[in-house]
Amino acid sequence: MSILSTYEESHPGSMSKFQRAQSIFPSGVTHDNRYATPFPLYMTHGKGSKKWDVDGNEYIDYVCGHGALILGHSHPEIVDVVHQQMALGTHLGACTDQELEWGSHVKSLVPSVERIRFQSSGTEATMMAMRLARAYTGKTVVVKLQDHFHGWNDYAISDSSGPSSGVPDVVWGSMKVLPAGDLKILEEFIITNDNVAAIILEPTGAHYGQLMFNVESYLKGVRELTAKHGIVFIMDEVVTGFRASSGGAQQKYGITPDLTTFAKIIAGSLPGGAVGGKADIVDMISHNGKFVRNITDRVAHPGTFNANPLSAVAGSKCLEIISRGEVNTIANNMGIKLRDGINGVFSSLEISGHSYGIGSMVHVVLQDCDCDREICTGDHTRIKNTIAEEKTIQLKRSLQNHGIDVMGRNAFLVSAVHTEQDINDTLEAFETSLRECRDENLF
C-alpha cells in the first residue's frame, strides 16, 4: 500500500472525527499547525514520551505540546500539584501565594528578570513586550526579523510582504521587517531612523532554529547596537525559554536582553505566558513605587486568567524540577543523539537530507548542507521551499504510520523523558519512512 492509503486505513476514527469537525471549526481544526490533509490525527491521552490516538495507535511524541512539555505528558509531580489546587480553587480572583512562588522561580532561573508580569499565552506576552517598549522609549517602530514568529497579535503576525488579512495598514506601519542575521542592515536602519523603540527576535533563529543565523555573534551584535542607541532588546524565548538551557538561550549564549517573553514550558504544560526584564521597563505597568506613572503614561494590563492558580502551581513545579539540574542535560543529550542518528540514516541510505539544531530542538530538511549540524548555514528560501514540498509532507505521514509524531512537518522537540530506546525506535522508523518515500519516487 502507499503511504497515503496506509494512513487512511490506519486512522478511520480520526477521519470520522475530522468529517464532523469541519461543520464546527474553520477547516476542521483549532490551531493552524494541526491542519493536515487528508485529515489530522485525534489524540486521546499521553503519558511520558508517548501518546495515543482514537484508533488506539501509539506514538513517540515529538510535538511535546507545541514545545511546552519538556517533562513529557502527565508528569506525576505536576499532576499532583494541579489536583491539589483544583480542590482549593481554580480561579480565586485575587493575589495568591502561588503567583509569588511562580514569579520567584522565574527570577531565580533567569537573572535578567528583575520584574515579571504573567499573561495567558505567548501571543499576549509579545504584544505586552512591544507595548512596554513603546511606552518606555516614547518611540513607535519595532523591528522584527524576516520569518521570526512572535504570535498572532496584529503587530507580530505580518511579515515583509505587509500586513496580514484583517490587520490595518496603520498598525503594520509601526513595524519594520529586516533580514535575519545581517547586523549591517540593522545598524543602517537604526542610524537613519530615530523612532525605533525595540527589536524583537527569536534567539536561535526563526521557528526556534529552523532558519538560523550565526547565533552567538549576531545576538552580541544586536545587544551592542541596542544598548548604544537606547533601543529595547526583546528576546522572544517562548520556545527556547528553559529549553535551550535552564535559563534559556540568553544564559546559554551569555546575552542579557532588556525584556524576555515566555510561554510554553513556563506554565508547566498549562496555559501561561509572561514578560520579564528590567524593572524600569516592566514597571511601566506600576501604579506606585519608584517607577510610578501618571494615567497617560502607564501601561494598563488586565487579564482574567493572569497567573491563575492552576498555571501557577504547574509552572512553579515544572521550574522547580528544572532547577534540580538534570532536565536540560537529558533533553539536550537525547536531542543530539537523535540528530546525529538521523544524519547517519541519511548517509547510509545515500538520500539527500540532513538534521541540525541546538540541543533538544531538532530539525530535518530533505536537502544536503555542509553545516556543522548544530547551526545550519543553508539558504533560508531553499529550506522553506523544501519543507513545503510533497516529499516532506509524505515523510511526516509515513512517520505517523510508524508511530512517530513530529512538530509541524519536520521538527522534533525532545523532552527529558525521551529514552534511548525511544530514540532508537525513532531512528528505525525514520529509516523505514525514508525507504518508503524513495519507493514512491519522492527522492
* Grid coordinates given for 263: 510561554
pLDDT for res 162: 76
Query: Amino acid identity, residue 421?
Result: Q
pLDDT for res 295: 63
Is residue 194 over pLDDT 90?
yes
Is residue 291 over pLDDT 70?
no
CB 389 within 8 A of CB 414: no
Segment 354-368, tens digit of pLDDT: 999 999 999 999 999
- Tell me the average pLDDT across 159-180: 88
Q: Which CATH number fits domain 3-73+326-439: 3.90.1150.10, 3.10.20.30, 1.25.40.10, 3.30.365.10?
A: 3.90.1150.10
* Grid coordinates given for 322: 528544572
Query: Amino acid identity, residue 411?
Result: A
Segment 43-53, tens digit of pLDDT: 999 999 999 99
- Tell me the average pLDDT across 366-378: 95
Segment 15-27, tens digit of pLDDT: 999 999 999 999 9
Handedness of CA 282, 286, 289, 292 (dihedral sign): positive
| 3-73+326-439 and 76-323: identical CATH topology | no
Per-residue 3-state assignment (H helix, E strand, C coil) for 252-320: HHCCCCCEEEECHHHHCCCCCEEEEECHHHHHHHCCCCCCCCCCCCCCCCCCCCCCCHHHHHHHHHHHH
Question: 196-234 burial string, b = 16+ CB within 10 Å, else e?
Answer: bbbbbbbbbbbbbbbbbbebeebbebbbebbeeeebbbb
Segment 55-89, tens digit of pLDDT: 999 999 999 999 999 999 999 999 999 999 999 99
What proportion of the chain, given as a percentage, has pLDDT over 90? 93
Q: How far apart are CA 353 and CA 102, in angstroms?
A: 42
Q: How far apart are CA 241 and CA 328, in angstroms?
A: 11
Q: Is the peptide bond before 203 cis (omega within 30 degrees of 0)?
A: no
Is residue 294 over pLDDT 70?
no
Segment 223-254, tens digit of pLDDT: 999 999 999 999 999 999 999 999 999 999 99
Confidence of residue 147 (pLDDT cuts 50, 70, 90): very high
Q: How far apart are CA 345 and CA 327, in angstroms?
A: 27
How do the domains of the chain map onto residue ranges? 3-73+326-439, 76-323
Residues in the chain: 443
Segment 76-132, tens digit of pLDDT: 999 999 999 999 999 999 999 999 999 999 999 999 999 999 999 999 999 999 999
pTM score over 0.75: yes
Is residue 290 over pLDDT 70?
no
3-state secondary structure of 212: coil
Q: How far apart are CA 344 and CA 138, in angstroms?
A: 53
pLDDT for res 173: 87
pLDDT for res 208: 96
Does the 76-323 domain belong in CATH 3.40.30.10? no
3-state secondary structure of 85: helix
Chain position carrying cell 499565552: 121
pLDDT for res 274: 98
The mean pLDDT of the chain is 96
Segment 325-335, tens digit of pLDDT: 999 999 999 99
* Grid coordinates given for 414: 525532545
